[in-house]
Amino acid sequence: MTIWLNEIAERTGPRYVALADSIANAIDRGDLQPGDRLPTHRALADALGVTIGTVTRGYQEAERRQLVSARVGSGTFIRDRNVEHAMHGFGIIDPQSGGAIDLGLSLSLNGPQTQLMADSLQQLSAEPSTLQALLSYQNEQGMAHQRNRFATWLGEAGVDSDPERLLLCCGGQHAISIALQTICRPGDLVLSEGLTYPGFSAAARLAQLRHVGLPMDSEGIDAGAFEGLCRQQKPRALYCMPALHNPTTIETSQERRQQIVEIARRYDVLLLEDDIQFNATPERHTPLATMAPEQVFYIGGVAKVMAGGLRVGLLQVPQNWVAETAHTLRANCWMAPPLMAELVCRWIGEGSDKQLHRWQCQEAIARQALVDEMLGDYAIAHPPQGYNVWLELPPQWRAQAFVEQAERNGVLVKTAETFAVGSFHAPQAIRFCISPVADRETLRRGLEKIRLTLESTPPIDRPVM
2-78 maps to CATH 1.10.10.10: yes
Answer yes or no: same fold for 91-107+354-454 and 113-350.
no
Amino acid in position 329: L
pLDDT tens digits for range 273-303? 999 987 666 678 999 999 999 999 999 999 9
Measure the CA dihedral 273/279/281/286, to 10°: -10
Are the beta carbons of 430 and 389 closer than 8 angstroms? no
**Residue 232, class by beta-carbon neighbours within 10 Å (0-12 exposed, 13-18 middle, 19+ buried)?**
exposed
Most confident of 15-19, 26-30, 64-68, 169-173: 169-173
Percent above pLDDT 90 for the chain: 72
Distance (Å, rounded) from C-alpha 368 to C-alpha 433? Answer: 10
Task: Supply the Cα-derived Rg of the chain in whole angstroms.
Answer: 23
pLDDT band at 79 (very low <50, low <70, confident <90, very high): confident
CATH number of this structure's domain 113-350, picked from the four choices 3.40.50.12160, 3.40.50.1970, 1.10.150.20, 3.40.640.10? 3.40.640.10
Distance (Å, rounded) from C-alpha 338 to C-alpha 311? Answer: 11
Are the beta carbons of 98 and 442 closer than 8 angstroms? no
Going across the sheet that includes 414-415, the strands are 379-381, 388-392, 429-433, 414-415
Locate the domains of the chain by residue range.
Answer: 2-78, 91-107+354-454, 113-350
CA angle 291, 349, 245 (to 5 degrees): 40
- For the chain, the first-to-last Cα distance in angstroms comes to 6
Are the beta carbons of 272 and 142 closer than 8 angstroms? no
Of 456, 341, 351, 349, nearest in space to 410 by CA = 456
Distance (Å, rounded) from C-alpha 86 to C-alpha 268? Answer: 36
Q: Which residues contact 440 (CB under 8 A, 6 or more apart)?
A: 366, 367, 370
Distance (Å, rounded) from C-alpha 420 to C-alpha 2? Answer: 32
Residue 217's H or E segment, with its range, is strand 216-217
pLDDT tens digits for range 296-354? 999 999 999 999 999 999 999 999 999 999 999 999 999 999 999 999 999 999 999 99
Q: Which residues contact 173 (CB under 8 A, 6 or more apart)?
A: 199, 203, 313
Of 261, 311, 303, nearest in space to 278 by CA = 303
Residue 130's H or E segment, with its range, is helix 128-134
Superfamily (CATH) of domain 91-107+354-454: Aspartate Aminotransferase, domain 1 (3.90.1150.10)
pLDDT higher than 80, residue 462:
no
Mean pLDDT for the stretch of residues 234-256: 96
